[in-house]
Structure 1
Amino acid sequence: MILPIVAYGDPVLRKKGEDIKKDHPELDVLIENMFETMYHAYGVGLAAPQIGLPLRLFVIDASPFAEDEDLSETDRKTLEGFKKVFINPQILEETGEEWAFNEGCLSIPDIREDVYRNPVIRLEYYDENFNRFEETFEGLAARVIQHEYDHIEGILFTDKLSGLKKRLLKGKLANISKGKVKVDYKMKFPAAKKARG
């Protein structure tokens, strides 16, 4: 089922996600719905807060990046078939010299900005079957994970921009929360005027 994506300004995007228990009701259905919602919106990652659930869960399918000619051969190989579920993840370590990449977000449509992040992360997480993993991710895979991880920590990519950039985007962000933005996927806008009946 395709779910509406929560837009910038909704308080759920600022909440720190809660851990998911093994017996979480219909977790498999939730994960399936998240993938379907993400694909429908042409995203490569989606975190539970973006569908209104303050949970430590996100899904990623970064395989569309594998066709990007501008990426290194290593990045393209890593991202080929890179489809994963991350439950209760914890970043254990972020290393390397920060690098910029132009990021966007399904909750903040029509805004893309360069964000600096570390190129290497070590992550502990559970998959959809509650198998525990500790893995190191690099390059674009690490970046997509860091972006989604921020969501479950109540952080948005716009928080990482300079003060000047934030001020320049203020009006655009306000319009997004009011629903004054053109999107071709289902969204829920926190400050949209309710129709009077």
Structure 2
Amino acid sequence: MAELINPNPIIHERKAHLRSKPVTRAEVVGAGTDEEREPIDVLEIFEHIRDINDPEHPYTLEQLNVVSEEHIIVDDAKGRVSVRFTPTVAHCSMATLIGLCLRVKLLRCLPPRFKVDVQLTAGSHSSEAAVNKQLADKERVAAALENPNLLGMVNKCLQGPAGEAGGALAMAP
């Protein structure tokens, strides 16, 4: 077995989540039109990404505190989602894979009108600029997802806890 990058990660309790408040009819974007819909918010984005499996440990990104609601920004009106994530160690060699998993999960779950930005939390990684550059490059992301081994790793991480099939279809962005 390969040596673990972080052999003793801190495990956090999974939070119970309920919508912060019910969405009222006045808050529904496009009320009175054919495009009535509930706006996408931070909680919805967090619910999509919290159960992504860590590629190294049998825990979710939420349990390892790699993702949190505080590092998500959503602008539903402009169709933008920004997620910052924090690896468990500053030299994590899985950071790019984790970022790729976050991007793929959101691209699969969100309407195509959304632009998704995934980056490391500032100061959280020794190769922050290089990882962020890779995650922002659409051509590199597309090329990575054409690699069957890498796509298999991403799909495995996206299965969720105990092998749930939460977005494990082989879909490219």
TM-score of the two chains, using structure 1 as the length reference: 0.28
Structure having the higher strand fraction is 1
Larger RCO, structures 1/2 (Cα 8 Å, 6+ apart): 1
